[in-house]
Chain A
Amino acid sequence: MSSTLGSSIGKKLLMSLSGLFLIMFLLVHLTVNSFLLIPDGGEFFNAGAHFMATTPAIRVIEPLLAIGFLIHILYGIKLTLENRKARGSARYASGKKTTGVTWASQNMLVLGITIGAFLVLHIAHFWVKMKLTGDPLLEHTTITIGGVETEVENAYALVNHTFSYLWIVIVYVVAAVGLAIHLSHGFWSAFQTIGFSNQIWRKRLTVLGNIFAFVIGFGFSIIPVLQYLFYQG
């Protein structure tokens, strides 16, 4: 087992599986976030956030997610360092004029660092306040879930307030675009690495990956923008 994961393909397998896991997470995250666009004063979103925070499965999923991120980040750095070494120090004086290679595929680390930097900010904005320090905006509010009145944290108020700052909205949009570009290569590449690709599936996976990247990038940018423009006050 150790020889498998220590090999070049094994390390790539870890990148691929952690990446696919994070892709699943993005889908769930975007689905819950899309509730922010329902103009009901945040009631539905609060219900969604309440469910995500209290479901017993979260005790397993949250550490798993942290491990997924850690593996993806650490192995991304490790693989890049190894690849730099394999490339050697000599550079081509006449540059690289190979056509048809996507910019994304050659800048996955840079895109990853951008997403990582955003992640720190994002965790400070929401996770830290909701899980650790608390925030006056999170003061409990009463919503009706299936006819039953339930007291929940007002996560919507915190989100709504955070997105009242223009600079935060801009940072979120930039990160979402970076994430979309990262996914435009990462999605099909993850399948290629586990061996699920051939001449036909490569085209399908690339198209699917681009659609997925667009949905994720557009979804995560439009929510803060609309929150800033139409949901304040």
Chain B
Amino acid sequence: MENSINIKLKVWRQAGPKAKGRFETYELSNISTDSSFLEMLDILNEQLINKGEEPVAFDHDCREGICGMCSLYINGRPHGPDDDVTTCQLHMRKFKDGQTITIEPWRSAGFPVIKDLIVDRTAFDQIIAAGGYVSVNTGGIPDANAIPIPKPDADEAMDAASCIGCGACVAACKNGSAMLFVSAKVSQMALLPQGRVEGARRAKNMVAKMDELGFGNCTNTGACEVECPKGISLANIARLNREFLKAKAQD
């Protein structure tokens, strides 16, 4: 079992939003197979800085797969070749010695490139701001068991809530659709009594914002579900369709 590998990187470099991008090739040797993908990029950047070159810009934060900040389209898949993990949880043992690894930013009109591998995902924040919340007045802490919630509902809501808003669904979608993200954010609250109150308004406003921002129309290919690092189910999209159409029918 080898403990370190030599790899060749093809990295997308783009100086700014309007600049023309290109692929740059880098070679890295003696990369530990135990290092994470982002640690490998840290090593690359260290070498670039030491050479006096511009480091590769990429998004990252918690590095434990829960913040949704890391992205990267690696060798034909969002978050790389491993299933159900974010790029920060991807390890170099998933790659072979001598392999060429292509790293690209998310590609979608809704996510324009800011620099190198960083894309602008504020569209997701705008969709959340349009209704992805529960309006709560402050006050005393209510008893947790005051409102009984069936276990299957609680589980399904929790599964939907595990969406970290990384945008892999949009990156994988041939239609540049954000439906998996929006459906998870609508579902996590539609399933619970506290969220039901604003359910109709939430579904309408979030879909309207999603359309306004130019995301595409879902054609149910299911690529998003496959690439989602949190395994968000397409069943959420059916629920969003239901919520939206019901809300509109009530008007």
Contacts and interface: CB of A to CB of B under 8 A. Distances in A.
Query: Do they bind each other?
Result: yes
A227 interface: no
A192 B238 CA distance: 5
B107 interface: yes
Nearest to B225: A100
Given A88-B107, A192-B237, A83 B245 contact: no
B235 A189 contact: no
B143 to A, nearest CB: 31
B177 interface: yes
8 contacts: A4-B248, A93-B102, A94-B102, A105-B221, A105-B222, A193-B218, A193-B220, A196-B238
Q: Which has the most chain B C-beta neighbours within 10 Å: A92, A185, A195?
A: A92
Which of A3, A87, A96 has most B Cβ within 10 Å?
A87
Given A97-B77, A98-B77, A86 B108 contact: yes
A13 interface: yes
B234 A93 contact: no
Contacts of B176: 83, 86-88
Interface stretch (A113-121, A136-144, A161-169, A197-205): A197-205
Given A83-B176, A198-B235, A199-B235, A9 B241 contact: yes
Contacts of B17: none
Contacts of B221: 101-102, 105-106
Interface in A135-190: 185, 188-189
Contacts of A92: 73, 76, 104, 107
Contacts of A88: 107-109, 176
Interface in B62-113: 73-77, 81, 102, 104, 107-110
B104 A7 contact: no
A91 B245 CA distance: 33
Contacts of B233: 199
Nearest to B210: A8
Max chain A Cβ within 10 angstroms of own Cβ: one of B10, B23, B226, B235: B235
B215 interface: yes
A223 interface: no
A85 interface: yes
> Of A9, A185, A188, A195, which is in contact with the most chain B CB atoms at under 10 Å from its CB?
A9
Contact of B104 (A11, A93, A100): A93
B185 to A, nearest CB: 15
Contacts of B104: 92-94
Residue with the greatest number of chain A CB neighbours at <10 A, chosen from B75, B177, B207, B217: B217
Interface in A190-231: 192-199, 202
Given A8-B179, A195-B241, 11 more contacts: A4-B245, A8-B216, A8-B218, A83-B175, A83-B219, A87-B216, A93-B10, A96-B174, A101-B222, A105-B220, A106-B221
Given A86-B176, A195-B245, A189 B219 contact: yes
B76 A97 contact: yes
Interface in B175-228: 175-177, 179, 207-208, 210-211, 214-223, 226-227
B242 to A, nearest CB: 3
B127 interface: no
A90 interface: yes
B168 to A, nearest CB: 10
